[in-house]
Structure 1
Amino acid sequence: MNPVIEVRNLTKRYKDTLALDNVSFDIQKDTIYGFLGRNGAGKTTAMSILTAQNLPTSGEVRVFGENPYENARVLSRMCFVRESQKYPDDATPRHAFASARLFFPRWDQELADELIDEFQLPLKRTIKKLSRGQLSAVGVIIGLASRAEITFFDEPYLGLDAVARQIFYDRLLADYAEHPRTVLLSSHLIDEVSNLIERVLVIDAGRIIMDESTDDAREQATNVVGDAAAIERALDGREVIHRESLGRVASITFLGRLEDAERAALTAAGLDLAPVSLQQLIVRRTQQRTPRHDALAASDVTQEGVSR
């Protein structure tokens, strides 16, 4: 294991709101992560602390083995692209890219020029007059062309249409293959990014509830459909995370892997088995909250920097 980020017992509190609750995890070198969770889960807060744009209440963060706060050696090796990025009123995309070229030592101008053309970005228009999609393109171009050793994408591509998002995904994979680095991709479009990400890091109400490879995550749960009574007998003792029923027919999603013999027995009982998509799994897992965490998450949206 070769972590480039180490987080230990990280806590962030905004007055009465607990945004991060004693969080610990590692981020490995040259890996694409899906940093996933509901609005208010604490994703943006965590990334802001990792990039030294926010301070923790307690706990420790090490990036490349060092504290990133006011550490130019570390900060020049990271790029944080966020949807709510602010620019001076008179700034144009050309100004934003010129500044990025000065800050990021691995900046690739040729790649930036290619992306500007692909996204059809007007360079001379002030950023405040750009459409939401054009503004998203500015962030995506900086994130890709910086070729930073660690790049955080905090949903900067939400304004892009489906074609532009596919350009981003294709370009990210192609450039990652040629220039490996660590990428943290925060997204609500889980099904769209599921084929990009190698590891899944899920945060819910300020706590990490999943940290594993995408393949292992996909195998965590199974959906079974059929006679409700037969399903209940077959799944006795298993952890059910979602249940729907219509008359005597039920659809139940449960955690845990099935052995071949168990699958055969369920099929023989007339029950249909289906895999659970990554998005379905995460939706079901993050629906399971304690009342205390529900109250905390509801208050998150009132605090700046905790709304994602």
Structure 2
Amino acid sequence: MTAVIEVENLTKRYRDTLALDNVSFSIEPNTIYGLLGRNGAGKTTIMSILTAQNFATSGRVRVFGEAPYENARVLSRLCFVRESQRYPDDAQPRHALRMASMFFPNWDQGLADRLVEEFRLPMKRRIKKLSRGQLSAVGVIIGLASRAEITFFDEPYLGLDAVARQIFYDRLLEDYAEHPRTIVLSSHLIDEVSNLLERVLVVDDGRIVMDEETDSIRDRAANIVGDASAVEAFIAGREVIHRESLGHVASVTVLGTLTPADRAAISAAGLDVTPVSLQQLIVRTTQHSLHTEGAVR
């Protein structure tokens, strides 16, 4: 399968700040990716460079096999829904959607109209007067109705209530099933979007620290809970990425798939094993990486 995006040794520096540090990855067609990480990790910088809205300091970027900068053949096939998207002062949602319909060749007006109703978007109110959630809805509608071959959503849920976020997730999956394309979703609500994601790219301090299929991640860690001495005996020699304790009870997160023998040993020791959510795993992996680097330095 030919990648639609190829990134090699991408570095971005803002004066004394290293935003991206020699990043390399590829993105396959017709897949939903999660681009995850903390604020300031480099997620928006990556998307901005891939959509030619920012410049790399060094490295190589190819989208559909070509450099995206000033390349209409590439840019017409992309949609980037930014958290900080700006519009003219007198623009209304109907103006934004009309402009989008002229730019994106695969635009679906019927889907756009349906989403306007579902998000209860006031089409004739000036965008600068919209609530934060309504502004996010404008971007979500454009991102879904564009049916661009690659669509980037940068924190698309900001200001949306739980009902509106669920509408977004449901419509994304429905339309993706009927019209497969590549979707890159940046979000802090990792557990909320985890069922959407087929592959995860985790950015931490400007570097890619995880690039895996979501299904392969789910069983790679477990929480071992119980008497502290018994927990310590079981985890001896294993990679620990997180630990908590309260009195004589400990909860330790270990990397590695548990074998049937491991589970038998856990049961025999009177311990409990609980699954680690995708969000817990990513948070604890990045924390573990930070602590390990700090120890090395």
Give the TM interval when normalised to the shorter protein: over 0.9
Alpha-carbon offset, residue 288 of structure 1: 2.7
Q: Which amino acid aligns with 2:198?
A: E
Corresponding residue for 2:219? Answer: 219
Flag structure 2 segments of 5+ consecutive residues without an equivalent. none
1:275 is the counterpart of 2:275: yes
User: What's the secondary structure of 1:34's corresponding residue?
Assistant: strand
Structural mapping, 1:126-205, within 5 Å: 126-205=126-205
For residue 152 of structure 2, give the secondary structure of its aligned residue in structure 1: strand
What is the TM-score normalised by the length of structure 1? 0.93
CA distance in 1, matches of 2:33, 2:22: 21
Aligned residues: 294
Q: Which position in structure 2 is the counterpart of 1:252?
A: 252
1:69-108 to 2 correspondences below 5 Å = 69-108=69-108
Percentage of pairs with the same residue:
77
SS in 2 for 1:3: coil
Partner secondary structure for residue 250 of structure 1: strand
- Structure 1: runs of 5 or more not aligned: 295-308
Q: Secondary structure at the match of 2:4?
A: strand
1:8 corresponding residue in structure 2: 8
Separation in structure 1 between the aligned mates of residue 260 and residue 70 of structure 2, nearest angstrom: 54
1:118 deviates by: 0.8
Structure-2 change in CA distance of 1:65 and 1:293 (3 Å): farther
Partners of 1:2 and 1:92 in 2: CA distance? 40
How far has the Cα of 1:120 moved from its partner? 0.8
- Deviation at 1:199? 0.6
Could you tell me how far 1:217 is from its partner in structure 2? Answer: 1.1
**Cα deviation digits, residues 90-116 of structure 1 (max 9, x gap):** 111111011111110000111101111
Deviation at 1:158, TM superposition (A): 1.3
Paired residue for 1:119? 119
DSSP 3-state at the match of 1:167: helix
Counterpart-to-counterpart distance in 2, 1:131 and 1:164: 13
Q: Is the CA contact 1:148–1:181 (under 8 Å) kept in the aligned structure 2?
A: yes
Question: Quick one: distance in 2 between partners of 1:53 and 1:189?
Answer: 25
Relative contact order, higher structure (CA 8 A, sep 6+): 1
> What is the TM-score normalised by the length of structure 2?
0.97
**What is the one-letter code of the residue matched to 2:173?**
L
The CA deviation string for residues 248-283 of structure 1, in whole angstroms up to 9 with x for no partner, is: 210000111111111111111111001100011111
Per-residue deviation at 1:2? 2.6
CA contact (8 A) 2:83 2:154 kept: yes
Q: What's the C-alpha RMSD, in Å, of the aligned pairs?
A: 1.3
Q: Is the 8 A contact 1:205 1:293 kept in 2?
A: no
